[in-house]
Amino acid sequence: MLTPSSGVAALPDDGSGSPVTSDVVWDWNLITNSLQFSPSVRAVFAHDDDEAVDDIEWWMAHIHPDERDAVVKGIRAAIAGRGQFWSAEYRFERGDGTYARVFDRGFISRDGSGNPVRMVGSMFDVTEQKNAEDALRDSERRFRSLIENASDAIAIISAEGKFTFASESYVNVLGFGSSELVGTHVFDLVHDDDLDEAARVFGRILTERGGTVHVTVRCRHKDGSWRVLDARARNLLHDPAIGGIVSASRDVTQQLALEAELVQAQKMEAMGQLAGGVAHDFNNLLTVITSNVDLIVSGIPSQLEIHENLTEIRRAAAQAAGLTRQLLNFTSRRSEDPQIVNLNDVLTDSEGLLRRVIGEQAELRVKTADRATLVKVDRAQLEQVLMNLVFNARDALQGSGVVEVSTEREKIEAGAPARSGAVPPGDYSVLVVRDTGTGMTPETRARAFDPFYTTKEIGKGTGLGLAMVYTIVKQAGGYIDLQTRRGSGTTFRIYLPRVMSPMPTPLDGTRAVRPKAVEETVLLVEDEDMVRKVVRRTLLGQGYKVVEAANGAEALALALEDPERISLVLTDVMMPAMGGPELARQLWARFPDLKIIFLSGYAPDTMSAESAVPSGAVLIEKPFAIEKLATKVREVLDSRDAGTSRAIDTTAKTN
């Protein structure tokens, strides 16, 4: 054991026989290879009194196996070298089998020739210190992991408004790495139109301590696009550990776009309900007007002035019917006649008309994609979308400027940056209409697709143009991306699901059938007296016998009285007591081969489940031309499978 005569001072004693220090002092005679520890080795490492501890092999055996070779090699290298000091950190086994973490250091004595003769050192039990350091390190690691893996972007901002810390989450939110943002002023990322609001909120943060301040602003992405960030910030400038304003920002671009889509859909639904009710009554009136005009005109020589006047009335009624159909389109859930068409063909075929629409002062540029851009839409409605967008672009020019119309093919990958129209991943054919006009203010942009909203003077626009574009695109399963800025023009990108290969589109199959005088009886069911009278006169004029009923219940009673005399049922859809669909179900249950045609002032897709016509039934929408009504009646009567040939027909509408 170490003694005063050994050249090392004895450890002070507190009178109990135990050393005051918890460190362990050791003395290694390198000549005899004998190692001695101070008595504290038993207390510090909990070894029994009868255990032999003064042995180099005992010391090495108690070093953790994973670290033993490195420690032994290290101390041997120090002894073999010319230095005087050695130190190491390792795990040392206690008497109970657990391991203490120790810091061990020694001084090497050498003779006049530099040969090592003795090594004196001390071991310190640093278990608690190391555990505390590990705990702190783990805590820091967990905190950093939470910060870096959070979906929100975390930042610390100085009182001057500069980033002093930015989490790597900013890469996912704005595309910038932490090193790119530190030292940058936060306002350098904010949209010009949002700078005033951002400055106001920042000033408020500086004057408040502890409270959380909320703001939503547009910020520039590294790719040049704009993202809407919902940010919450807290002033911790007074906290020495933080010394700044802590903010957490979340990208809500797509969420706001989806919310806007929902609001827009709700607006259109409400407008559709209103339009459906108005259109139904208006179509009944138009049916009376057009049918009576047709009846009168048929008996007047064309050279008379009154014939021309009546023709003008008929033409005006047809235009009114077209406006009514536009209103009804607000609630349609599918296109009327979807076909596979090539956007390139639609644009090419429309180019001449578009140039006339643009006028001589503006320039029209047309560019089509190199490959086919196939989509499945109603071509007439697609042409209406194109015309409405070009009309809108022309008006935005306010004279001279450029309108560019093009087609593209685009594949949107999952995880791609969100667009203003929240376009999901997929393959699309894209119709692009871009102008160099005045652009829109944020307020106008927010209401661009609202029906009856317009910035034009009274009498210069109805506000239905972009609302119709929205409705038609949604019916076709497409999406709209609108990019605009006041003074920088506007770009509409219409995304329509791309059809990969063309398919033959079935022909209508409806052929004109000349009316002929017959002895057949038509059961006419219509609750509007004026409509019923004009249809009755039309049928009588074609040689049919007519039995009238004001509702479904009355018609059912008449049919059951003498079913053999009824050749065809011509019934309105919406009626009190019993509507047309319920009447048809009861009649077909008794007379499966009975031929039935439905009349309606509502578009097929606007009807409720109770009022919807049976699948495949023949449906003529009001208002209709009397000659086309007569043709359809004759066609159904001449068909072999009248009860089952129920392909929905809209060809009898007034053009």
Kindly report the CATH number assigned to the domain that includes residue 573. Answer: 3.40.50.2300
DSSP 643: T
Rg (CA), the chain: 44
**Would you say residue 564 lies in a domain?**
yes
Range 10-18 contact pairs with CB under 8 angstroms and sequence separation of 24 or more: 11/38, 11/39, 11/40, 18/43
Distances in whole angstroms, Cα of residue 356 to Cα of each of 344, 362, 390, 538: 19, 10, 11, 41
Is the same domain home to 472 and 363? yes
- For residue 94, being part of any structural domain is answered with yes
User: What gap in Å lies between CA 490 and CA 551, rounded to an integer?
Assistant: 53
**Residue showing tokens 């704009």:** 226
Please count the residues of the chain.
655
593 and 478 housed in the same domain: no
Same domain, 313 and 450: no
> DSSP state, 349?
H
Q: Name the residue with tokens 């329509």.
A: 496
* 553 exposure class (CB count in 10 Å sphere: 0-12, 13-18, 19+): middle
User: Are 183 and 239 in the same domain?
Assistant: yes
Q: Does a structural domain hold residue 502?
A: no
Report yes or no on 651 lying in a domain: no
CA distances from 552 to 467, 517, 527, 600 (A): 37, 27, 9, 14
Whether residue 359 is found in the same domain as residue 490 = yes
Same domain assignment for residues 318 and 367: no
- Give the CATH number for residue 358: 3.30.565.10
Question: pTM, whole model, 2 decimals?
Answer: 0.40
Domain count, the chain: 5
Does 536 reside within a domain?
A: yes
Identify whether 275 is part of a domain. yes
What is the C-alpha to C-alpha distance for residues 596 and 588, in angstroms, rounded to an integer? 9
DSSP one-letter code for 136? H
Query: Is the distance from CB of 208 to CB of 233 less than 8 angstroms?
Result: no
Residue 246 lies in a domain: yes
- How many whole angstroms separate alpha carbon 236 and alpha carbon 158? 10
Which residue spans within 418-557 are E strands per DSSP?
Answer: 426-435, 479-484, 490-497, 521-525, 545-549
Q: Indicate whether 240 and 345 sit together in one domain.
A: no
Packing angle, helices 529-541 and 626-638, rounded to 10:
60
Q: Distance between CA 572 and CA 563 in Å, rounded?
A: 19
The string of DSSP letters for 75-102 reads: HHHHHHSS-SEEEEEEEEE-TTS-EEEE
**Structural domain ending residue among the three candidates 126, 159, 175:** 126
Q: Is residue 247 part of a domain?
A: yes
What amino acid occupies position 32?
T
Please tell me the predicted confidence (pLDDT) of residue 150: 64
Which 3 state secondary structure label does DSSP give 111?
coil
Upstream peptide bond of 576 is cis (omega within 30 degrees of 0): no
Pair (545, 610) in one structural domain: yes
User: Does 614 lie in the same domain as 574?
Assistant: yes
> Phi-psi category of 182—alpha, beta or left, where left has phi over 0 and alpha has psi -120 to 50?
beta
User: Could you tell me the two tokens for 80?
Assistant: 């073999």
Instruction: Sort strands 226-236 and 212-220 into parallel, antiparallel or unpaired.
Output: antiparallel
What φ, ψ does residue 614 adopt, rounded to 5°? -55, 150
**624 and 567 fall within a common domain:** yes
Q: Is 211 exposed, middle or buried (0-12, 13-18, 19+ CB in 10 A)?
A: exposed
Write out pLDDT tens, residues 107-134: 999 998 889 999 999 999 988 888 888 8
Instruction: Dig out the tokens for 611 from the structure.
Output: 């009022």
In 3D space, the residue among 570, 583, 578 whose CA is nearest the CA of residue 521 turns out to be 570
How remote is the C-alpha of 603 from its chain's centroid? 30
Q: Which residue, of 193, 216, 251, is where some domain finishes?
A: 251
Q: Which of the 8 DSSP states describes residue 463?
A: S
Range of the structural domain that residue 344 is part of: 338-497
Whether 198 and 190 have beta carbons less than 8 Å apart is answered as yes
Q: Are residues 353 and 461 in the same domain?
A: yes
Contacts of 207 (CB under 8 A, 6+ apart): none
DSSP-assigned letters across all residues of 582-596: HHHHHHHHH-TT-EE
What whole-number distance in Å separates Cα of residue 264 and Cα of residue 420? 14
Say if residues 646 and 615 touch (Cβ distance below 8 Å): yes
459 and 594 in a single domain? The answer is no
> Over the chain (655 residues), what is each successive 10-residue block's mean pLDDT?
34 45 84 89 86 86 93 92 90 91 93 90 89 80 68 86 87 87 92 91 84 88 88 88 86 80 70 66 76 77 76 72 59 59 88 79 88 86 85 82 91 69 85 89 76 51 68 87 87 91 45 53 90 87 90 91 88 88 91 90 56 75 80 85 42 41
Residues in CB range of 32: below 8 A, 6 or more apart: none
User: CATH no. for residue 271?
Assistant: 1.10.287.130
Cross-strand bridge partners of residue 162: 185
Q: With left for phi above 0 and alpha for psi between -120 and 50, is residue 577 left, alpha or beta? A: left
Query: Any idea what the CATH number is for the domain that residue 122 is in?
Result: 3.30.450.20
Provide φ and ψ at 275, rounded to 5°: -65, -40
Residue 334: the pLDDT is: 40
622 within 8 A of 603, measured Cβ to Cβ: no
Query: Measured on CA atoms in the order 604, 606, 608, 611, is the torsion positive or negative?
Result: negative
Q: Which DSSP string corresponds to 371-414?
A: S--EEEEEHHHHHHHHHHHHHHHHHHHTSSEEEEEEEEEEEEPT
